[in-house]
Structure 1
Amino acid sequence: MEEYIVSARKYRPTTFDSVVGQTALTTTLKNAVKSGKLAHAYLFCGPRGVGKTTCARIFAKAINCQTPTADGEACNACESCLAFNEQRSLNIFELDAASNNSVEHIKTLMEQTRIPPQTGRYKVFIIDEVHMLSTAAFNAFLKTLEEPPAHVIFVLATTEKHKILPTILSRCQIYDFERMTVRGTIDHLKHVAEKEGINVEDEALAVIAEKADGGMRDALSIFDQAASFCQGNITYEKVIEDLNVLDSDNYFQITDLARDNKVSEIMVLLNNIINKGFDGGLLVGGLSKHVRNVLMAKDESTLPLLEVSERQRERYKEQATRCETRFLYQALRIMNQCDINYRQSSNKRLLVELTLIEVAQITQPDDAASAGRRPKRLKTLFKNLVQQQRQRKTAPQVAVARTVAHTPDNTKPATTPNTNNTLQQTPTTVSTTTYTASSRPVLKSNGGTLGYSWNNLRQMTKPKKMQVIPGTLGADDPNAANKEEHREFTQRDLEFQWMSMCNRMPQSLSGISARMKNMNPVITKMPEIEVTADNKIILDQMQDIKGSIVSTLKLYLHNSGITLNMRLAEHHEQVKVLSRREQFEEMSKQNPSIEKLRELLDLELA
């Protein structure tokens, strides 16, 4: 059985002309070989699998060829070329900088540069992945790289040029290799398939080329994998099954459904895609690329930007005729925002679903707006919601009856003239509240329609709070308790109403109200009340508002016989007002568990 060699090695280019996708670079190198104007150091940089090391080998063989061709290629017939092809050349050295990145390895390399070549004109040192060298190794390499012996040429290759020291870059001729185009990759894979006798479809090769992401080596490896799975007949269906690639038909279908506002069908399709094991972020990324291609297909001048097969290009052109540019542009913007937020989202599926709903909402016609203003409610997307909305539009306005029992004190009865030329009092009674489309209540009365806001209606139905203001709650006040009312009250009732009175006192009496909260009124003999003040100043301030205090207690305790005796506290009756820390220390003495809890939770008093 013949030994199997993978396509990436079997079809590796051996001449400049066989290198795919790097025409400008290979032409420059061939001209350098023809003219003999060779630099002492070259730097080949670019992504993986684009031919950096391959071109370095071809270049090393060409400059050592004893009889090069007229266009700068190696002859493959001289002793130097045969030695290179048989891998026994002593003039070409390859070094992997990933595993030989120390100063000692560089010093060993420098010693080899002193020995002139046995055959040929140059000793060529190819250092692959040169960015892996340490800083010390780079510094040791600097002098030799700048002024090497006349028979030495360095060819450095790297995928990360930004990691190389600027002093190294300045000593080299830099060649930037390009990514393989999809079209170039497809053509090369067709050439390989013809030599291998494999039947392929252009759509299948397009999938392989997109999966390779610009790397020919990756494309050839995927091609071998697909060839093993398909057994000599590579089709589009088998390739997407083997590579677990999402079928492009899904993207075409989602775009058409979003254009027609069919959100329910999009959600079903998304669920099927996720159940097959595809990631939601992969779907959004693929859909973004698809919408971008549809946008490019709308103009003949941008149509060549589509790196797809001819059949796929026709499908893009057909869908572009059905989609508006505004829809495609806004869809790209929405999906780009989803791609930005996808990594940080905790519920990724919900983010994808919301994104697809927004895309499907772009072409949704706006609901009818009144008074030239755009309605602020959400657009209707699902069919059942559309039907419900239509029913709401045709249904009559709903009137909710509400009887307002309370009439404000400052509302005067309406007066209407009667036949006897006397004023007859007709109170205005609010009977119903009708809710209109503007969500603003309109109160109907016997005399017509009155306009109210929600705030006014709330104030009408809200009972008035009583405030303690000096001189307003005297014995002649109509709000005072009935003179014949003598309801008994408890000490608890007294303390509650006392605290409530202090809380209702106006801002101008905030100082005295705060001190009154610390007092404890007591019932000496029903209905006599006594309260003690700590000092003469507080007692004088309370004497000024004594009438209001008594009137308020009579009103809320429902006892018109209440009397209030205020006196100055004796020395032994005065209670020290404790601070927060002193209160905590007192509590800790009474209950040591509080201090243990503080230590356990590592708490500190503010």
Structure 2
Amino acid sequence: MGEYIVSARKYRPNSFDTVVGQGALTTTLKNAVKSGKLAHAYLFCGPRGVGKTTCARIFAKAINCSSPTAEGEACNECESCKAFNEQRSYNIFELDAASHNSVEDIKNLMEQTRIPPQVGKYKVFIIDEVHMLSTSAFNSFLKTLEEPPAHVIFILATTEKNKILPTILSRCQIYDFERMTVANTINHLKKVAEKEGIKYEEEALNVMAEKADGGMRDALSIFDQAASFCQGNITYKKVIEDLNVLDSDYYFRIIDFSLENKVSEIMLLLNDILNKGFDGGNMMLGLAKHVRNLMMAKDESTIKLLEVSETLKQKFTEQAKKCDTKFLYQALKILNSCDINYRQSSNKRLLVEITLIQVAQITQADDDEASAGRSPKRLKSLFKQIIVNTANSKAQQVATGGNSMQRQAQAQQSETMHVQQRQTQQPKDTNSASTSRISFANGRPKIKSGMTFSELRNSGKPKNKTNEEESVVIDEKKLFTQEDLSFQWMLMCNRMPKQYIAIASRMKNLMPRISEFPKIDIIVDSQDMLYNINILQGRIRSTLQRGLHNGQITLSIRLAKAEEFKKIPSRAEQLANLSETYPAFGKLRDALGLELA
């Protein structure tokens, strides 16, 4: 058994005609050889594995060939060609700039340019990865590159043209190598497989070509790997297993399910893909590429843009007939948005699932309000119904706080001023049970005593159906305890509007009691507080009715009797009592010198 040589070396082109995918460029080089019009410096640039160094060697051999063919190819018969083929030529030098990038290396190279060739016409210097040269090495190279001896030709090769100094670029003829197309790569792999006696499926070669991403060397390396895994029979299933590539059949199935709005099937398919170890982001990129290919397959004039095998072209064409163009446009837009947001998302799987759901809902009928890209009216009505049902079955405790609107503030300010003007008056009716609500006159809210504090906060807002539904009086008779009453009382005090903050602070010191269920007694300690509570009793009652789910609640508000008065200690008195009760606290206060702020 002979020595094994990888395909990338074994089938390396040795003539311009065997170079794959660079027809225009090789024709130009052959014409230069035929005409003898050679530049003193060439720059070959392009992606990896497309034949830059290979073309440089073929060109160097053809330049020194003593009897080139009519097409500009080397004869492979003369002494110069034989010396090159046997790797003993003294006229062709190769320098790896990645490892020889110093000024000294360039100076040594320049010394060799002074010696004329012994055989042939030219000394050819091939400098690979020239962008790796240091700036000082480039500067040292400039003068010789601009005016080299007549017998010297430089061929520079690089994958990163942007890193080369403009002064170097201006002294070279620049040749840009193209990426390998999928079709060219597949055709070349077929030839290699036939020479090696390996059976293959065209879909398997298509996967290799796409995986190589435009590099023939990479494609041949993948071919060797797959041939070793498949043991001489390269099949599609074995290749995607070996290369860990997602089967394109998944994408076809996702689109088919999307056209039928089968979201649950898509979710199960996604779970299967993720369980196999595939990244969700890469899967979405593949799906976006699949949708793009479907768009190309919709038109016969653009189907040639599909870089896939003939079998896959047929599958794309068949599925494209089932897809509306609007669906494909919308799907691409959604998938592109997912790609933009994927890296920033903290829950990537959820983002992928939502994206697939949106794609699956594109084709829903117009009467289905939940379709993707439209306002989810059905969803909105659902939430609205939930709110109404919640209000009817379980009364809203105390509405959430919010900033008072300007109209509300003005109205409450007027009411407060009115209250202050009547400080000396007694309330006419302390047991009124008004259940009136907000009414609008001349576009401005009219505040009435039966509103809850929640409605008071929202009184400046325009009335809508939802507000009307929420303002319905609750006819419930739910039982409640003293503990429930105390909790709702404190909750109400904490959520009263800002203009009542002083009254709310004093109300926290009151302890309402259940006298005869559901009657509640509120005992106040001053005439002024009695008057203020009576002013607000309608709102207090409505708020407690909602919070305690009992529309039968009534209030009894009265001034405390002399024996019921309980003096509230000041902060200083509270501190003194605390120090007496807990001597350790008093010592700590004295030791630290603490005083009331």
Q: Which TM-score band applies after superposition, normalised by the shorter structure? A: 0.5 to 0.7
Deviation of 1:368 (Å): 6.2
CA distance in structure 1 between the aligned counterparts of 2:249 and 2:417, rounded to whole angstroms: 75
Q: Which residue of 2 aligns with 1:112?
A: 112
Deviation of 1:108 (Å): 1.2
Q: Which residue of 1 aligns with 2:207?
A: 207
Q: Which residue of 2 aligns with 1:474?
A: 424
CA distance in structure 2 between the aligned counterparts of 1:31 and 1:504, rounded to whole angstroms: 90
Q: Which residue of 2 aligns with 1:361?
A: 361
CA distance in structure 2 between the aligned counterparts of 1:321 and 1:554, rounded to whole angstroms: 81
Q: Which residue of 2 aligns with 1:66?
A: 66
Q: Which residue of 2 aligns with 1:150?
A: 150
Q: Deviations over 1:425-472 (max 9, x none)?
A: xxxxxxxxxxxxxxxxxxxxxxxxxxxxxx9xxxxxxxx997774431
Q: In the alignment, does 2:35 pair up with 1:85?
A: no
Q: Which residue of 1 aligns with 2:338?
A: 338
Deviation of 1:377 (Å): 3.2
Conserved? CA contact 1:466–1:504, under 8 Å: no
CA distance in structure 2 between the aligned counterparts of 1:316 and 1:379, rounded to whole angstroms: 35
Change (3 A) 1:477 1:505: farther
Q: Deviations over 1:68-119 (max 9, x none)?
A: 1111110101110000000000111111111111111111111111111111
Change (3 A) 1:466 1:360: same
Please list, as runs of the form range in 1=range in 2, the aligned pairs for 1:384-399 lying within 5 A after superposition: none
- Give ranges in structure 1 of 5+ residues lacking alignment: 381-387, 405-454, 456-463, 482-499, 518-548, 563-587, 596-606
Change (3 A) 1:366 1:109: same
Please list, as runs of the form range in 1=range in 2, the aligned pairs for 1:322-471 lying within 5 A after superposition: 322-367=322-367, 376-377=376-377, 469-471=419-421
CA distance in structure 1 between the aligned counterparts of 2:208 and 2:529, rounded to whole angstroms: 91
Q: Secondary structure at the match of 2:16?
A: coil
Q: Secondary structure at the match of 1:72?
A: coil
Higher helix share: 2
Q: In the alignment, does 2:139 pair up with 1:132?
A: no
CA distance in structure 1 between the aligned counterparts of 2:92 and 2:526, rounded to whole angstroms: 113
Q: Which residue of 2 aligns with 1:23?
A: 23
Deviation of 1:311 (Å): 1.2
Conserved? CA contact 2:527–2:559, under 8 Å: no
CA distance in structure 2 between the aligned counterparts of 1:44 and 1:193, rounded to whole angstroms: 29
Q: Which residue of 2 aligns with 1:552?
A: 528
CA distance in structure 1 between the aligned counterparts of 2:3 and 2:36, rounded to whole angstroms: 40
Identity %: 69
Deviation of 1:336 (Å): 1.0
Q: Secondary structure at the match of 1:17?
A: helix
Q: Deviations over 1:333-378 (max 9, x none)?
A: 1111111111222221111111111111111223367xxxx86435
Please list, as runs of the form range in 1=range in 2, the aligned pairs for 1:3-42 lying within 5 A after superposition: 3-42=3-42
Q: Secondary structure at the match of 2:44?
A: strand
Number of residue pairs matched by the alignment:
440
Matched AA of 1:32: A
Conserved? CA contact 1:179–1:215, under 8 Å: yes
Change (3 A) 1:592 1:115: farther
Q: Secondary structure at the match of 1:3?
A: coil
- Give ranges in structure 2 of 5+ residues lacking alignment: 396-404, 406-413, 432-492, 506-524, 534-556, 563-587
CA distance in structure 2 between the aligned counterparts of 1:175 and 1:82, rounded to whole angstroms: 27
Conserved? CA contact 1:327–1:363, under 8 Å: yes
Q: Which residue of 2 aligns with 1:164?
A: 164
Please list, as runs of the form range in 1=range in 2, the aligned pairs for 1:450-529 lying within 5 A after superposition: 469-475=419-425, 477-478=427-428
Deviation of 1:478 (Å): 2.4
CA distance in structure 2 between the aligned counterparts of 1:590 and 1:104, rounded to whole angstroms: 82
Matched AA of 2:98: A
Q: Deviations over 1:470-504 (max 9, x none)?
A: 431324552689xxxxxxxxxxxxxxxxxx9xx99
CA distance in structure 2 between the aligned counterparts of 1:53 and 1:399, rounded to whole angstroms: 75
Conserved? CA contact 2:526–2:559, under 8 Å: no
CA distance in structure 1 between the aligned counterparts of 2:594 and 2:66, rounded to whole angstroms: 97
CA distance in structure 2 between the aligned counterparts of 1:480 and 1:472, rounded to whole angstroms: 15
CA distance in structure 2 between the aligned counterparts of 1:15 and 1:400, rounded to whole angstroms: 85
Matched AA of 1:66: S
CA distance in structure 1 between the aligned counterparts of 2:162 and 2:293, rounded to whole angstroms: 32
Deviation of 1:282 (Å): 1.4
Deviation of 1:299 (Å): 0.6
CA distance in structure 2 between the aligned counterparts of 1:560 and 1:128, rounded to whole angstroms: 101
Change (3 A) 1:559 1:345: closer
CA distance in structure 1 between the aligned counterparts of 2:165 and 2:223, rounded to whole angstroms: 37
Q: In the alignment, does 2:264 pair up with 1:264?
A: yes
CA distance in structure 2 between the aligned counterparts of 1:300 and 1:132, rounded to whole angstroms: 46
Q: Which residue of 2 aligns with 1:299?
A: 299
Q: Which residue of 2 aligns with 1:318?
A: 318
Conserved? CA contact 1:475–1:551, under 8 Å: no
Deviation of 1:399 (Å): 12
Matched AA of 2:172: C
Moved over 2 A (4+): 366-369, 374-380, 397-402, 464-471, 475-481, 503-507, 553-562, 588-595
Normalised TM-score (structure 1)? 0.67
Deviation of 1:554 (Å): 5.5
